[in-house]
Amino acid sequence: MRRRFEGKTAIVTGASRGIGLGVAQRLVDEGARVAITARTQEALDEAVATLGGPEHALAVAGRADDVNHQAETVQRTIEAFGSIDLLVNNTGINPVTGPLAETEHAAVRKVVEVNCIAALCWVQQAHRAWMREHGGAVVNMSSLAGNGHARGMGLYGASKATLNYVTAQLALELGPIVRVNAVAPGLVKTRFAATLYEGREAEVAASHPLKRLGQPSDIGSAVAFLLSDDADWVTGQLLVVDGGASLVGRR
156 is catalytic: yes
Query: Quick one: which H or E segment has residue 178?
Result: strand 178-185
Q: How many CB atoms lie within 10 A of CB 230?
A: 12
Decide: 90 and 13 in contact? Cβ < 8 Å. yes
Backbone φ and ψ for 14, nearest 5 degrees, come out as 60, 50
For CA atoms 73, 14, 232, 178, give the dihedral sign.
negative
Q: How far is Cα 156 from Cα 147, in angstroms, rounded to an integer?
A: 11
DSSP 59: E
Single out the catalytic residue among 12, 48, 156, 158: 156
* Active-site residue list: 156
